[in-house]
Amino acid sequence: MNIERVAVIGAGVMGSGIAAQVANAGIAVYLLDLPAQEGSNRNAIAEAAIAKLLTTEPPPLMLSENVGLIHPGNNEDDLFRLAEVDWVIEAVVENPAVKRDLYRKLDKVCRPGTLISSNTSSLPLHVLTQELPDSFKRRFLITHFFNPPRYMRLLELVTSSDLAPEALDRIRVFADQKLGKGCVLCHDTPGFIANRIGTFWIQTAIREAIALNLSVEQSDAVMTLFGIPKTGVFGLLDLVGLDLMPHILKSFLQTLPAEDKLRDIAAIPSLMTDMIEQGYTGRKGKGGFYRLK
Ligand code: NAD
């Protein structure tokens, strides 16, 4: 069964970016967030997210000719629409209780063949499916997109032995052929692969820059010329949002076994805490390690 209609729940940084990438591939997508608490337009959060996609510069996340393929909504009035879709991608806040509550509703409203996945960056799959029925476990996996989805080719996939065998194939074919992703299968470990390794080099980069009195430009020049990411470590933190790191690290620490050596380096540096407190959260805030132009 092909994937012809998609829904994304959570119209934040990731959900809206994922919805844009799906629409850019010519696929219709519902983008649902919470109903707005102020004003009469209950879809205001998702609508504002779509408007932002068109104006993000650089890089544009949304091709304007495909914007009509994204349909904004809210998860109270429009949940019934998910009965029409083939794949629901959950991209709400990184809170297992909030995610599980949503999954219970999705399991009731979605058709049996509909795939459901989470974009969690750190929560293990077995935590997300705790106390959920078998009908849910058969259709659920983690599809971990990276920011910004349009430009990051990696898609981490985490599955369980409960997943229906054809479900993984359907996601892989769609992700490869329609979204141009390179899929990597990961074990159900806290942080999967990229965040385990990424946490190590981000933390090390900050500590070494402070210890050696390096400028962020020097550090990132070394990393980019060394061939790691295009932005360097500090540029990447500005792009992703500095305020995301405490959340990732907190839930990461909660899930790491006591003997896991990553625990020793997973504490957030105080420099970063100070910056977040002062609103220097990166490109979405007052700037971050780099000034805004
Ligand atoms: P965000 O805070 O930008 O957006 C979350 C959105 O979810 C908000 O708009 C919020 O209103 C909405 N929301 C909260 N509860 C909801 C509910 N019950 N129903 C519908 N919408 C709800 O967060 P984000 O950075 O986009 O992260 C979303 C998910 O993606 C998290 O699980 C995060 O760990 C993961 N992730 C984030 C990044 C990143 O770089 N930001 C990268 C990969 C994965």
- The interface pTM score, or ipTM, of the predicted complex is 0.99
Contact 75, 9 (CB under 8 A): yes
211/116 Cα distance (integer angstroms): 45
Q: pLDDT tens-digit profile of 196-206?
A: 888 878 888 88
Contact 68, 45 (CB under 8 A): no
User: Which residues line the pocket of ligand 1, CB cutoff 6 A?
Assistant: 9-15, 33-34, 45, 75, 91-94, 98, 102, 119-121, 145-147, 240-241, 244
Q: Which of 37-51, 162-176, 232-246 has the lowest mean pLDDT?
A: 232-246
84/114 Cα distance (integer angstroms): 9
Q: pLDDT tens-digit profile of 52-67?
A: 998 876 677 888 889 9
pLDDT of residue 58: 64
pLDDT of residue 293: 67
Distance of CA 253 to the CA centre of its chain: 19
Q: pLDDT tens-digit profile of 20-49?
A: 999 999 999 999 999 999 889 999 999 999
Does residue 142 or residue 262 have the better pLDDT?
Answer: 142
**Token digits of residue 141:** 């996996």
Report how far ligand 1's centroid is from the alpha carbon of 225 (Å).
Answer: 32
Ligand 1 atom closest to Cα of residue 102: 18
75/266 Cα distance (integer angstroms): 34
Tallying the residues shown for the chain, one arrives at 293
Q: pLDDT tens-digit profile of 178-189?
A: 999 999 999 898
Is the pLDDT at 82 greater than 90? The verdict is yes
pLDDT of residue 55: 84
Report how far ligand 1's centroid is from the alpha carbon of 208 (Å).
Answer: 31
Report how far ligand 1's centroid is from the alpha carbon of 4 (Å).
Answer: 24
Ligand 1 atom closest to Cα of residue 145: 43
Ligand 1 atom closest to Cα of residue 240: 40
pLDDT of residue 54: 86
Report how far ligand 1's centroid is from the alpha carbon of 212 (Å).
Answer: 35
Report how far ligand 1's centroid is from the alpha carbon of 184 (Å).
Answer: 22
Residue 284 — pLDDT band, cuts 50, 70, 90? confident
